[in-house]
Structure 1
């Protein structure tokens, strides 16, 4: 016979490896290659037959197995198999990043098999300390990591000195970019002195917002003198560039056949014009979460002259809210739970026994069914997972043992019984 075909899982014993031809009747033996182990009961011999062909054989070596790589805290392990040559891949939960390799392989190590690299670990994504601002400061923390929030406040000033105004969102929080690098949710606010001039409207007067001086965020409401109607907004606000926005309105003398734009709270006028002719109609639409007293969201009014509109009503609004409490699998809300939530509400969450909280326990509602930081999750603790694995292994072992006893040991006894009975009957 010519040398036998090469096997991917085994190689010829050394004394046969250099032979070029084999006499009929020669039996050769194999040894398993590194990473493989012999299957009990399978022959490792092949014989050269009279037809000059090697006797067939079943596969007698199988892949060795690596132990399970283990659990990854705040992450996920994907293992398709544990046999020689298989791989395990790793990934992290939201807000965590992988330090180390994302893939390991089961390889030959010291005449056995094992994983070629150490397990990585998942760290909560860190942020650099938040930026400092002039004339202000922020709340300090020991560490700045994913979902950490800081709040800025302007410095106090001496009596008689113009105060600083906080311009921009007071709070920012640590999040991450596409490369899992920690970044802050936005730029920090600014602390600046903002002063707006005392606004005046000819043929009109202030209705609210009286004061000797005006700083950032201050508002003034105007109304026109009798016999005049307003063109422009009745409320203006002091903005960060020391100007009023929108600009101050004007008061025009009322004539018989015209109307100024209808004044409507929490709604918009369609179409928008400064002056409307008598008999002209406009549509009024309420803002989101707002309706007219009868529940309608829109209505039509008509200019009746002398700056009077027919059936003009204001929109009333309900607070923007969330209609449900966040769904916490394996956890519950311990503080702050309500039938609905308004912007700024806080709730506190805890997990049931045996589960670990992933995320912040205290979160705040920011509108549109969104919470900051995000709603946390509850996952099985590592020691609970280990206990479950042990229980499953014991159950599988007991089931296998029961099958062996029932279908191998007992069947063997039944096979011998008829022969014994027949022998006794013949003897009798």
Structure 2
């Protein structure tokens, strides 16, 4: 039998078993290590860790990592792209050190508009065309990463003036031709002449068509084309009445006749009739009824309407008279009441007077044009939009409003040569002046400083330049 095993020694000053020591120490070591290490830096939208830090698993206190700005971003001057693990186990500093790069302004879209709210990386610009033009290409561009920087992802599109198909041909007529038919091009139709003795053609419908466009930005003509037809209306007659204008045995399209009743009669129906396109008068021929003691004919009101409208009214019956738009009675009111007094007489009957609200022409814009709202005549409240030709700058508001009496608010703008073009012209003029001065110098001065003397004065003139002193003295003695 071997020697008996001795129990482990216990007591003060004695070493503990190694396994027990290891069990007690390891948790403390792990805790100390965890307390001295930062978590990996959070991912930044605008920057990323340099490649050498991507493989690191542990970041002890005092560790400094560096970033590089992501594509589309650039460093902010004065801001460090580094962060350090602090004793509080937080990364500092936390302020942003990269900012979005900016694209250059897209420029100008001829005959169009560019809506740019921001130029930074990721922003968008929307594109649209002026009235009468349509976009050829996309209507939106984006600021994206491009050529190690940023730039717009597409070229600017084009604004094409909207074209129309050639206007329709019509029988027995023709239209004024143009080189091309585009937005605001107008054509005028006329009917063919006929041999003497034959009935002439009448133009039925609008004489002028204008190239415009629909909701799909396709070119269309403003109205259907007119027709050329022979139109004749019968000679109208009114019993107990007569023609006051429009005399003649034959009546063509749009010829008018005005009637009046004989004394003692009043008229029922309109006093004016017009020859229509279907060889008939615009309304039935009026009649003239005998005036009686208790009856009134319909009151005749210029620029107004009668309510209720009838051909005859009983004595004591009242009507309401309303003036048309932009019209009023002499006292400024727009409505009044009139009463039949018998014998075709009305009380308080007045005509409406109207103001001229239109302007007969579009304002003249030198080196510019009206691109929206142009009409042959304008009324108060109408707007037009003006743009200048290339190379000219608009001085004033582009959109102005008609305020009456051929006046516009805030005033018709002007188109003046842009500063850039003016500078180029000044440079060209300066170059021309310098070249002219140099030519004059070369013409009248030789390279050695001698004057060029005309042949006619060679015998009487003395050249002092480059003449020996002795010859000069001799000349003075003589």
2:50 aligned residue: 13
Unaligned runs of 5+ in 2: 1-36, 395-417, 424-478
CA distance 1:202–1:318, change in 2 (3 Å) = same
**TM-aligned CA distance change 1:159 to 1:80, over 3 Å:** same
SS in 2 for 1:15: helix
Q: Tell whether 2:247 aligns with 1:236.
A: no
**Does structure 2 retain, via aligned residues, the 8 Å contact 1:285–1:299?**
no
Aligned partners of 1:66, 1:202: CA distance in 2, in Å? Answer: 85
Asked whether the 8 Å contact 2:361–2:377 carries over to 1, the reply is no
The change in CA–CA distance for 1:273 and 1:361 in structure 2 (over 3 A counts) is closer
Contact 2:131 2:372 in 1 (8 A): no
- Following superposition, the deviation at residue 268 of structure 1 comes to 3.9
Q: Distance in 2 between matches of 1:75 and 1:111?
A: 30
The answer as to 2:103 corresponding to 1:66 is yes
The reply on whether 1:219 has 2:228 as its aligned counterpart is: no
Contact 2:132/2:371, CA 8 A, preserved across alignment: no
Q: Find the aligned partners of 1:362 and 1:8 in 2 and give their Cα distance.
A: 49
The answer as to whether partners of 2:296 and 2:346 remain within 8 angstroms in 1 is: no
Match of 1:131 among 125, 146, 168: 168
SS in 2 for 1:7: coil
Distance in 2 between residues matched to 1:301 and 1:65, nearest whole Å = 78
2:379 aligned partner: 368
Mapped contact 1:87–1:105 kept (Cα < 8 A): yes
TM-score normalised per structure 1: 0.70
Deviation at 1:159, TM superposition (A): 1.6
Q: Deviations along 1:201-238, whole A, 9 cap, x unmatched?
A: 33443333222221211112233445544322222111
Distance 1:370 1:44, change over 3 A: closer
Contact 1:137 1:152 in 2 (8 A): yes
Q: Point out where structure 1 has 5 or more consecutive residues left out of the alignment.
A: 323-340, 392-428
Is 1:76 the counterpart of 2:113? The answer is yes
Aligned counterpart, 2:150: 113
Question: Is residue 2:331 matched to residue 1:320?
Answer: no
Q: 1:349: which partner in 2?
A: 364
Which of 283, 286, 289 is equivalent to 1:249? Answer: 286
Matches of 1:380 and 1:95, distance apart in 2: 16
Separation of aligned partners in 2, 1:109 and 1:33: 13
Distance 2:81 2:303 in 1: 88
Report 1:264-303 matches (<5 A): 264-278=301-315, 280=317, 282=319, 287=324, 298=336, 300=338, 302-303=340-341
In the alignment, the residues of structure 2 paired with residue 312 and residue 44 of structure 1 have an alpha-carbon distance, to the nearest angstrom, of 92
- Report the equivalent of 1:196: 233
Using the alignment, how far apart are the partners of 1:265 and 1:30 within structure 2?
86
Q: How many residues align?
A: 360
d(CA) in 2 for partners of 1:380, 1:148? 18
Q: 1:145 to 1:28 in 2, by over 3 A?
A: same
**For the structure 1 residues 290 and 36, does the alpha-carbon distance in structure 2 shift closer, same or farther, using more than 3 Å as the test?**
closer
Equivalent in the alignment of 1:179: 216
TM (norm. structure 2) is: 0.64
CA distance in 2 between counterparts of 1:233 and 1:23 reads 105
1:312–1:26: structure 2 CA closer, same or farther, 3 Å change rule? closer
More displaced 10-residue stretch of structure 1: 266-275 or 109-118: 266-275
Distance in 2 of aligned mates of 1:48 and 1:295 = 86
Bigger RCO of structures 1 and 2 (CA < 8 A, at least 6 apart): 1
Asked whether the equivalents of residues 10 and 31 of structure 1 are also in contact (C-alpha less than 8 Å), the reply is: yes
Q: Deviations over 1:120-139 (max 9, x none)?
A: 23233333333333322222
Instruction: Indicate the residue corresponding to 1:377 in structure 2.
Output: 386
Q: Which position in structure 2 is the counterpart of 1:411? A: none
Cα offset, 1:380, TM superposition? 9.1
- CA spacing shift, 1:166–1:82, aligned 2, 3 Å: same
SS at match of 1:172: strand
| Higher gyration radius (CA) | 2
Q: Distance in 2 between matches of 1:224 and 1:122?
A: 63
Conserved? CA contact 1:283–1:301, under 8 Å = no
Superimposed CA distance per residue, residues 243-292 of structure 1 (whole angstroms, 9 cap, x where no aligned partner): 11210122334445434334455544444333334555555555556667
What secondary structure, in the 3-state scheme, does the structure 2 residue paired with 1:183 have? strand
Q: Who is 1:304 aligned against? A: 342
The 1:222/1:44 distance shift into structure 2, 3 A limit, reads closer
Q: Say which SS state the counterpart of residue 273 (structure 2) adopts.
A: strand
